[in-house]
Copies of this chain bind each other. A is one copy, B any other.
Amino acid sequence: MGKAKRGIPSKSEDFNSWYPFIVEAAELVDKRYPIKGMDVWRPYGWKTMKLIDSLTHLEMERTNHEEVNFPLLIPENLLEKENALVSRLKRAREEGVDPDDLRDENDEGGFKKEVYWVKHAGENDLEIPMFLRPTSETAMYTMFPLWIRSHKDLPLKVYQMVNTFRYETKQTRSFIRVREIHFFEAHTAHADEDCATKQIEQDLEIVDNLMHDLCLPIIKAKRPVWDTFPGAFYTIGIDAIMPNGRTLQVASCHHYRDQWAKAFDLTYENLDAKQEYCHQTTYGMSERLMGAIVGMHGDDSGLILPPAIAPFQIVICPMIRKDSDIDVVSKAEELGDKLKSAGLRVKVDSRDIHAGQKYFDWEIKGVPLRLDLGPRDIKAGTAFAARRTGGKEPLPLDNIVDECNRVLIEIADELRSRAKSHTENVVLPLSSLEDIDEGKIYEIPFDGTDAHAETIEKKTGLSFLGDSTSPYSSEMPCFMSGKLTRRRVILAKTY
């Protein structure tokens, strides 16, 4: 194992030890709560998550989504409609028939095996069992028909940020695979398929904006049919590329066409006074974004947080020297106040401990910019800046706000540039099914059958992420069939 910095495992050599260590050492969550996969969010982690959420809120406001909050519990009998829909679509797909020819089926959907059940309250058995939401389609689409009457009520665009629950049986991992999930879900209803498609386009634009701020390298891929969300016409997955080359789905968008609307009788009166089914979409994201940020940006000294979501963008360390009569703590507080008034998130660390300990603490927490302020700096009219991404320089105090803003922008740019070169190093064209390197993601021109895909997955041990939303600029021969195609399919090991 690699050289550990004061007990921190080496990220490059042992990512699987580094990740859980850093998550707790940076005080993001505490995993000692006595339920597996349900961590306690500590103040620093929760603040970071809420800053991510606030970026999402801004995007939702910009795109005219309204925030709602639905109950956690869903009565089992509401699930019947969903189950019928899902099993009908599944059978139609298997049998190659139109789903509308299979209306009255009602066997069990997949969710039942993954949910927490509430069958008792107080000392009573409940007449109708309820479950903790794994996601809110069923809860919401029970209410949408009450809210949508005519074309004037469309589009309906709502979202909520709530915790969802999955009875996860695989090994849990903070943020990445948990049983209580901090979740974002937007649900929309539209007049027709085209309007719904435009919504998906807007969702992907929102994803781009958020990923820009989070400096994350991602792949957007239209999932293959067998990996499409139950009840969806198509699904676009957004996968972060982790340092070990595995991909982590952090978000997804689903185009439902009118499939759910038919199951939940969600209609509207159009301009000709006729009833039409709505077309719907959803867009979900989760705390996996935190997992991607931790995993992607950190290094052997700890986290590196993108400035847009760092609870403290700047930490100021007054350097107390016994041989100087300059009150560095007051000067540091003054500097802190100046930067805070300019809207920056700043911490002044006036603890009476060794500077090395302070550096260690704030490096592990990933504060993007540190300003050291000692008597000599003050005399020289500067603060000594250390970027968490590397590099040191004195900054003039008389222009400190602009200078800090410039440096924070450069730090974010540096993170994005690292993400870009990581992507370029990791995502490669596939030359042969036998020539698969650990930690790589492959792309191929593909226009084959499901059987072709199965062959590829088996031989490579990789999964089809699906069709990249950026196809090849010119036609290429399909990897399996040789047929010319612009479809660029991505293969990866996934979390």
Contacts and interface: CB of A to CB of B under 8 A. Distances in A.
Interface in A41-95: 41-43, 46-47, 50, 66-73, 75, 78
This chain's copy number in the assembly:
2
A50 B73 CA distance: 21
Contacts of A73: 35, 38, 116, 180
A130 to B, nearest CB: 7
Interface stretch (A120-128, A296-304, A377-385): A120-128
Given A32-B146, A35-B130, A122-B167, A43 B66 contact: yes
A143 interface: yes
Interface string A145-165: 011000000000010000101
Contacts of A124: 167
Interface string A102-119: 000000000011111111
B122 A114 contact: yes
Contacts of A119: 117, 119-120
Contacts of A142: 33-34
Contacts of A78: 34
A132 B118 contact: yes
A341 interface: no
A70 to B, nearest CB: 5
B130 A121 contact: no
A97 interface: no
A433 to B, nearest CB: 36
B115 A118 contact: no
Interface in A176-193: 180, 182
A30 interface: yes
Contacts of A34: 75, 78, 142
Binding site of A, secondary structure by majority: helix, strand, loop or mixed? mixed
B39 A68 contact: no
B122 A113 contact: yes
Nearest to A43: B66
A40 interface: yes
Given A30-B147, A35-B75, 5 more contacts: A35-B130, A40-B68, A40-B69, A41-B68, A119-B120
30 contacts: A30-B143, A30-B147, A32-B146, A33-B70, A33-B139, A33-B142, A35-B73, A40-B68, A40-B69, A40-B143, A41-B70, A42-B68, A43-B66, A43-B67, A43-B68, A46-B67, A46-B69, A47-B67, A69-B182, A72-B165, A73-B180, A114-B122, A116-B118, A117-B120, A117-B121, A118-B118, A118-B132, A119-B120, A121-B167, A122-B169
Top 8 closest pairs, chain A to chain B, by CB: A43-B66, A41-B69, A38-B71, A121-B167, A117-B120, A122-B167, A113-B122, A116-B121
